[in-house]
Amino acid sequence: MDCGVVIVGAGQAGFQTALSLRNEGYAGKIALIDDEGRVPYARPPLSKAYLKGTATAESLEYRPAEFFVQQAIDLVLDNPAVALDREKRTVALRSGRELEWSSLVLATGAHVRRLPSTGPEPFYLRTFADSDGLRNHLAGADSLLAIGCGFIGLEAAAAARAQGKRVRVIGAEGRLMGRAVSPFISAWFQAMHEKHGVEIRLNTAVRRVSESSAELPDGTTLAADAVVVGIGVIPNTALAAAAGLAISAGILTDSWLKTSDPAIFAVGDCAAHPNVYAGGLARIESVQNAADHARAVAATIAGKPKEYHQVPWFWTEQFEAKLQIAGLAVETDETEVRGDPDSGKFSVYNYKDGKLKFVESVNQPAAHIAARKLLEI
């Protein structure tokens, strides 16, 4: 008997799994378990339009609450899954409610890495509540200190600078967005931020923070009206680990996104999956990864097995620059720049052994789209 599908986590991947199951014609029961107490919403605007004040809370919601009722998706809000029983195929929620499943999808995402704090906590940016808190606080602040020179820190810096705040970015690494872009793009974005008046300090590992300060390795302390920390995330694997599922950099899956238990799938930020573009196991934090994982798993559960192999893509917006990345920033040995970087419209093609690996386009959407097609394996 089909006891239906339980999806743990109602973020991008969990929501998309439920939606795609119905689109695939799956008629069984679907339960979508949330722990934030909000109808599923998109995170990218949290460090962009929502933070700047140009998007409303409602515009972030993927669908209104009634949609879930219409689609017979049991959206269980503010009631986290606390334990899995793989033998009985049940999941227990905090409230004590127990749900049976025939297929279980873990879409638990990730939580922010924190810095030790010396007082009241600084802001982090993962949830709607985080972004809303920072947005309100920034309204009455003159300065922002962003710790972390990845996408989140830089997007928050750009959003605050655009509102006229004094902004400083402190990064532990030697270049901006080092894990995800080429050195050329790091340098170009650094120059752009500096041109806009953002002060950037690299190779500086902050030791401790508070809501209004950061302590540097040399003992000096920097102060600001607001402090936001974006130093990466840790996948939510505890539930899976406690149930004895294999874990590596995330919940371990095969290329069908099945975990070490074939009735349990893992999708999105929490899943360490074989990725042809990475040339091995990868755990990827992006909308593309979450949505395409979800679609593959939904098709498989609906009886149309689908292996995951989509081209990774990503975007970020900082000031007037929209950067789109096709492929994954793996190690390369040759770089070709097309277009004029000074014009603010150009693309960087990155090769390894003569093969195109990833393409970074700044304000050149057509080049990005062409690259997504070019890179298809």
Q: By the criterion CB under 8 A, which residues form the site for another protein?
A: 16, 19, 23, 42, 44-45, 58-60, 62-64, 66-67, 70, 287, 291, 295, 313, 315, 322, 324, 365-366, 368-369, 372
Enumerate the β-bridge partners of residue 222.
Answer: 214
The residue sitting closest to ligand FAD, measured at its beta carbon, is 11
Paired tokens of 331:
């190690």
Examine residue 180 and tell whether it contacts ligand FAD (CB under 6 A): no
Choose the one of another protein, ligand FAD, none that binds residue 377, judging by a C-beta under 5 to 8 angstroms depending on kind. none
Instruction: Measure the CA–CA gap between 341 and 279, rounded to whole angstroms.
Output: 30
> Which residue stretch of 44-52, 163-171, 275-283, 295-303 sits at the interface with ligand FAD (rule: CB under 6 A)?
44-52
* 35 scored as a contact of ligand FAD (CB under 6 A): yes
Distance CA 23, CA 17 (A): 10
Q: Is 240 in the site for ligand FAD (CB under 6 A)?
A: no
d(CA 287, CA 360): 17
Which residue, 34 or 292, has its beta carbon nearer to ligand FAD?
34
Smallest distance, another protein to C-beta of residue 366, A: 4
CB of 100 to another protein, least distance (A): 28
Among 33, 282, 296, 375, contact with ligand FAD (rule: CB under 6 A): 33
From 28-36, 53-61, 343-351, 364-372, span contacting ligand FAD (CB under 6 A): 28-36
**Per-residue x/- marks for ligand FAD, 5-24, CB under 6 A?**
---xxxxxxx----------
Smallest distance from another protein to CB 40, Å: 11
- Cα separation, 363 vs 342, in Å, equals 12
Cα gap 50→55, rounded to integer Å: 5
Q: Which amino acid is at 25?
A: G
Told to check if 324 binds ligand FAD by CB under 6 A, we report no
8 Å CB contact between 101 and 89: yes
* Interface pattern 127-166 for ligand FAD (x via CB under 6 A): -------------------------x--------------
β-strands 110-112, 103-106 pairing: unpaired
Q: Which is nearer to ligand FAD, 149 or 239 (CB)?
A: 239
Size of interface with ligand FAD, in residues (CB under 6 A): 37
Cβ atoms 250, 236 nearer than 8 A: no
Tokens matching residue 265? 């799938």
Q: CA 271 to CA 283: how far, in whole Å?
A: 6
The kind and range of the H/E element at 144 are strand 143-147
Q: Are 154 and 193 in contact (CB under 8 A)?
A: yes
Q: What end-to-end distance do the CA atoms of the chain give, in Å? A: 38
Residue 134 interaction partner, one of another protein, ligand FAD, none, beta carbon < 5-8 Å per kind: none
